[in-house]
Structure 1
Amino acid sequence: MIICEKCFCDTEIISVIKNKSVIGDCPLCKSKNVYLYDTEKFDDLSMMFDDLLSIYTPVSLLPQSFPKADTRLLKSELIYNWNIFNKKTEADVYNIITAICKEKYEYNAELFDQPVGIQELYDSDYLSKHSLLTTNSWEDFVEALKTRNRFHTHYVDLDLLERFCSYIRKPYKTGEVFYRCRISTEVGIPVTEMGAPPIDKTTDGRANARGIRCLYLGDTAETTIYETRAGAYDYVTVGKFQLKKDIIVVDLKKINQISPFIEGLDCLEYAINKEHLNKINDEMGKIMRRSDSPLDYVPTQYITDFVKSIIHDGNPEYAGIEYKSVMHNGGYNLALFDPDLFECIETEVYAIETIDYKKHIV
């Protein structure tokens, strides 16, 4: 079977296909002049998928007590639980995976044709050693932070969290530009006053507790205007910020989209933590209302403070975190632990003319 780089969105797989240096037209997705991979000639992808598929057990071999609701066909699991294939139907994925793993399919067709499950999801001994929250739920973790122990909870395996963070490192080079918006008058706010507020005016935020300075920036001026939640006829000042030195941040937008094919990653450990990682992603993207309590920020503040505490060779490993915008679809924000890493180089004042409200009955 001939497939191509465009059939996938996993960067590790795309890299393997490109290394074959075979260029042509893909008969499956119809892409032109792309890198091709012939499953009859190459076995690189077969070896990569072996580790991932080994975590699954066909329903006929699962214990009777295993919940049927936690099983589904392998082709569905690969589409909906792993960010591997680029807009492929279940039929396409079935054909691709059985072609790539043709030898495994010959002696273990049940894995591809029956619903499958992950036994370790219900193995308390395995979970206690390999789950990010050991045997606790995300709700248990949040409740403990809010009501019992704010700073020294034992609900999280911090070594494991640090390892997951290492898979979503994102570098930025000196000169990168981000934006910050503040509600103002039509005169605007001076460049020198567009940075993070002073300590005595710092309030609770998604990535910082009251009294801890943090510089929040957005990828575009539009994202920051949305995040500011300015009203109709308000004036806003948008500052253009430039990075003063190379940094590395943790891209929490990707925490539930780590490639299962990264060297050194334990696929089974990652799979049983998928739900917890999804929770972190959801929490970072949770909409906060004016009526919400500052306690609702505690889970994300805890995660952020831990990332901030990671030290290697006596120096902080990460300069901040990146997370999706909750107000501007497709936009993202950057929270910097050291506000002096960026410098505001210019500002522009905008008048907000209209706001479009979308609503639904609750």
Structure 2
Amino acid sequence: MIVCEKCFCDTEIISVIRNKEDIGNCPMCKSKNVHIYDTDKYEDLSIMFDELISIYTPITQLLNSYPKSDTRLLKSELIKNWNIFNRKSEADVYNIITEICKEKYEYNAELFDQPIGIQELYEQDYLAKHSLLTTNSWEDFVDALKTKNRFHTHYINLELLERFCSYIRKPYKAGECFYRCRISTEEGIPMDKMGAPPIEYTTDGRANAKGIRCLYLGDSAETTIYETRAGAYDFVTVGKFKLKKDIIVVDLKRINQISPFIEELDCLEYAINKEHLNKINNEMGRIMRRSDSALDYIPTQYITDFVKSITHNEVAEYAGIEYKSVMHENGYNLAIFNPELFECIDTKIYKIDMIDYRKHVM
């Protein structure tokens, strides 16, 4: 079978296909003049997928106590839980994976054709050592932080969290620009007042506790205007901020989209933590209502403070975190630990003419 770089969205697989330097047309996705991969000619992808697929067990070999509701066909699992294929058709994924792993399919067809599950998801000894939240749930973790111990909890494996952060490093070069919006008057806010507020005016935020300064930025003026939630006929000032030096941030948008084919990654360990990593991703981007308590920020503040504490040779490893914007589709935000890393180089004043409210019945 011939597949191509366009059939996949996983960067590790795309890199392997491009390294073959075979150019042609793809019969699977109809892309033309692209890097292609012949499953009859090469075995690279077979080796990569073998390791991932080996974490699953066919339903006939799972313990009777394993919940049947947690099993699904491999083709469905690869689409639902792994960011590997651009092809979203289960039939296409099935055809691709059985061709790539044809030898494995020949001697273990039920792994591809019958429901499968991950046995270790229900093995307490394994979870205690390899789960991000050990044997706890996300709700247990949140409750412990809110009501039991705010600063030192044994509900989360910080060594494992640090390892996952290392897979989602994102560099930014000096000179790159981001934006910050504040509600203002028609006269606007001066550039020297557009940064993070002084310590005495710092309130609880998604990535900072009260009294700890943090500079919140957006990838575009539009994103940051949405995040400010200005009302109709309000005036806002949008500052353009320029990065002074190279930095690395943790891109939490991708924490549940790490490639399973990274050489040092433990696929099984990553798979059993998928649900917890999704929770972190969702919590970072969750809309906070005016009626919400400052306590609702505590889980993300805890995770952000831990990222901030990671050092290498006594130097902070990360300058901030990046997370998705739920107010502006496809937009994202930065929370920068040291506001002095950016300088405001320009401001513009906007008047909000109209707000488009969308609703649904609860």
Q: 1:27 maps to which residue?
A: 27
How far apart, CA to CA, are the structure 2 residues paired with 1:33 and 1:339? 46
Question: Conserved in 2, the CA contact under 8 Å of 1:75 and 1:90?
Answer: yes
Q: 1:214 maps to which residue?
A: 214
SS in 1 for 2:303: helix
Unmatched runs of 5 consecutive residues or more in structure 2: none
Cα drift, residue 106 of structure 1: 0.5
Q: 1:187 maps to which residue?
A: 187
Q: 1:244 maps to which residue?
A: 244
SS in 2 for 1:37: strand
Question: Conserved in 1, the CA contact under 8 Å of 2:168 and 2:252?
Answer: yes
Q: What is the letter of the counterpart of residue 172 of structure 1?
A: Y
Is 1:68–2:68 an aligned residue pair? yes
Q: 1:156 maps to which residue?
A: 156
Question: Conserved in 2, the CA contact under 8 Å of 1:285 and 1:326?
Answer: yes
Cα drift, residue 87 of structure 1: 3.2
Q: 1:165 maps to which residue?
A: 165
How far apart, CA to CA, are the structure 2 residues paired with 1:174 and 1:285? 26
SS in 2 for 1:141: helix
Q: 2:361 maps to which residue?
A: 361
Alignment of 1:79-94 (within 5 A): 79-94=79-94
Cα drift, residue 88 of structure 1: 2.7
Q: What is the letter of the counterpart of residue 179 of structure 2?
A: Y
Q: What is the letter of the counterpart of residue 260 of structure 1?
A: P
Cα drift, residue 74 of structure 1: 0.3
How far apart, CA to CA, are the structure 2 residues paired with 1:286 and 1:349? 28
Cα drift, residue 192 of structure 1: 0.6
Alignment of 1:1-362 (within 5 A): 1-362=1-362
Cα drift, residue 345 of structure 1: 0.2
Cα drift, residue 351 of structure 1: 0.5
TM-score (norm: length of structure 1): 1.00
How far apart, CA to CA, are the structure 1 residues paired with 2:154 and 2:57? 32
Q: What is the letter of the counterpart of residue 302 of structure 2?
A: Y
Cα drift, residue 65 of structure 1: 1.1
Q: What is the letter of the counterpart of residue 276 of structure 1?
A: H
Cα drift, residue 32 of structure 1: 1.1
Q: What is the letter of the counterpart of residue 18 of structure 1?
A: R
Question: Conserved in 2, the CA contact under 8 Å of 1:74 and 1:112?
Answer: yes
Cα drift, residue 147 of structure 1: 0.5
How far apart, CA to CA, are the structure 2 residues paired with 1:45 and 1:208? 43
Provide Cα deviations, 1:50-75, integer angstroms capped at 9, x if missing partner: 11000000001111111100100000
How far apart, CA to CA, are the structure 1 residues paired with 2:300 and 2:311? 19
Question: Conserved in 2, the CA contact under 8 Å of 1:221 and 1:238?
Answer: yes
Cα drift, residue 268 of structure 1: 0.2
Question: Conserved in 2, the CA contact under 8 Å of 1:174 and 1:244?
Answer: yes
Cα drift, residue 360 of structure 1: 1.2
How far apart, CA to CA, are the structure 1 residues paired with 2:273 and 2:197? 37
SS in 2 for 1:72: coil
Q: Where do 4+ consecutive residues of structure 1 move more than 6 Å?
A: none
Q: What is the letter of the counterpart of residue 190 of structure 2?
A: P
SS in 1 for 2:120: helix
Cα drift, residue 263 of structure 1: 1.1
Unmatched runs of 5 consecutive residues or more in structure 1: none
SS in 2 for 1:182: strand
SS in 2 for 1:261: coil
Provide Cα deviations, 1:256-314, integer angstroms capped at 9, x if missing partner: 00000011000000000000001001101111001100000000000000000001101
Cα drift, residue 136 of structure 1: 0.3
Q: Matched residue pairs, number?
A: 362
Question: Conserved in 1, the CA contact under 8 Å of 2:87 and 2:93?
Answer: no
How far apart, CA to CA, are the structure 1 residues paired with 2:121 and 2:91? 27
Question: Conserved in 1, the CA contact under 8 Å of 2:214 and 2:337?
Answer: yes
Provide Cα deviations, 1:74-126, integer angstroms capped at 9, x if missing partner: 00000000000003300000000000000000100010000000000000000
How far apart, CA to CA, are the structure 2 residues paired with 1:39 and 1:70? 31
Question: Conserved in 2, the CA contact under 8 Å of 1:7 and 1:88?
Answer: no
Cα drift, residue 361 of structure 1: 1.6
Q: What is the letter of the counterpart of residue 133 of structure 1?
A: L
Question: Conserved in 2, the CA contact under 8 Å of 1:74 and 1:113?
Answer: yes
How far apart, CA to CA, are the structure 2 residues paired with 1:233 and 1:98? 58
RMSD of the TM alignment (CA)?
A: 0.5
Question: Conserved in 2, the CA contact under 8 Å of 1:223 and 1:327?
Answer: yes
SS in 2 for 1:216: strand
Cα drift, residue 326 of structure 1: 1.7
